[in-house]
Amino acid sequence: MNPQPRPLYWIGLSIFGLVIATYVLFPIFWLFLASFKTTGELASLPLTFWPVAPTIEAYTALFDTTSQSSQILNWPRLISNSFLVSVSSTLIVLVFGTLAGYAFSRIQFPGRDLILGGLLISRMFQGAALLLPTYRLMNNLGLQDSLLGLTLLYSAFGLPFATWIIASSLREIPFELEESAMMDGASRLQCMVKIVLPLATPALITAAMWHFVGAWSEFAFASILMESSDSKTVTIGLASFVELFTIEFNRVGAAASLVAMPIMLVFFFGQRYFTRGLLAGAVKG
């Protein structure tokens, strides 16, 4: 390895990264800015970049329950639905993923590594291939158009990968720590709660973030399963919103910004763990 810093290389790489980031983020940023403009400003020429007279009118309109549009799309409802489904399926995935991950990392049983590898294989299938069978299945179970059904579905989809991430990281925690705790008087459960889980926090946060973001932004399954307006989630709301209010870009921008907000917050606070947790799994897979 060359111990000397190579400034040109890093400057070049940074410029390249900036260009890519601008290319990707510019439309999103523009939409974000648009959410603070009036419909008039958006329609007038020449186009403005920064809002001339910034207003949160578009946001208040989203939450105006008396307006005609909220009869069709009830944003507070959409948001609370999405939160309910994402948060509860994240909790389910964390609880069961931790228990399963602990078993995979600590208990010898026949076919253990095969099954653990199989968990990853399950991620190789395109979700779209499962749309129809899932729809039939949920219908037969009477779980279509139900938030409970969607929560269970997301949990089932998220569990394998979460288990894999958690198991990989638990494998790196020496078993001697638990043996030591057992000698110190801890039960198996106390070992897990007091020793293993605190040490596995980065992996747990990673798994939780990964799942929350996935559940929050899931569209395909929600769109075929959730029919009534009371049970829809933000991604469906956003899609139909674009269809209904194409002309009112400020409102579309406001809705999109709102929907993106939780994901940005999750990454803002958790990205430190996110890379660490994924890397921990990557080194020892």
**Interface residue list for other proteins (CB under 8 A):** 174, 176-177, 179-187, 190, 194-195, 198-199
> Whole-number minimum distance, CB 185 to other proteins, in Å?
4
Least distance between other proteins and beta carbon 146 (Å): 41
Burial code (b: 16+ CB inside 10 Å, e: under 16) for 212-244 equals bbbbbbbeebbbebbeeeebbbbbbbbeebeee
Q: How far is the CB of 179 from other proteins (least distance, A)?
A: 5
Q: How far is the CB of 99 from other proteins (least distance, A)?
A: 21
Non-local (6+) Cβ contacts of 10 within 8 A are none
Place of tokens 């763990």: 273
d(CA 85, CA 93): 12
CB closer to other proteins, 123 vs 194: 194
Phi, psi of 253 (to 5 degrees): -65, -40
The residue among 156 and 177 lying less far from other proteins, judged by its C-beta, is 177
Q: Could you give the dihedral angle defined by the CA atoms of residues 217, 223, 227 and 230, in that order, rounded to the nearest 10 degrees?
A: 10
Query: Dihedral sign, CA of 196, 198, 203, 209?
Result: positive
DSSP letters spanning 40-77? HHHHSSSPPSS-SS---HHHHHHT-TTSSHHHH--HHH
Q: Which is nearer to other proteins, 76 or 198 (CB)?
A: 198
3-class DSSP state for residue 232? coil
CB 194 → other proteins: shortest distance, Å? 8
* Residue 186 or 263 having the CB closest to other proteins: 186
Please, what is the minimum distance in Å from the beta carbon of residue 273 to other proteins?
Answer: 15
Structure tokens at 138: 């949920």
CB of 105 to other proteins, least distance (A): 17
Residue 81 CA, chain-centre distance (Å), reads 15
CB of 165 to other proteins, least distance (A): 19
Residue type for 12, please? G
Would you say 127 or 198 has its CB closer to other proteins?
A: 198
CB closer to other proteins out of 160 and 277: 277
Measured from the CB atom, is 117 or 174 closer to other proteins? Answer: 174
Q: Which is nearer to other proteins, 186 or 224 (CB)?
A: 186
Q: How much helix, strand and coil, in percent to the nearest 5, is found in the chain?
A: 75, 0, 25
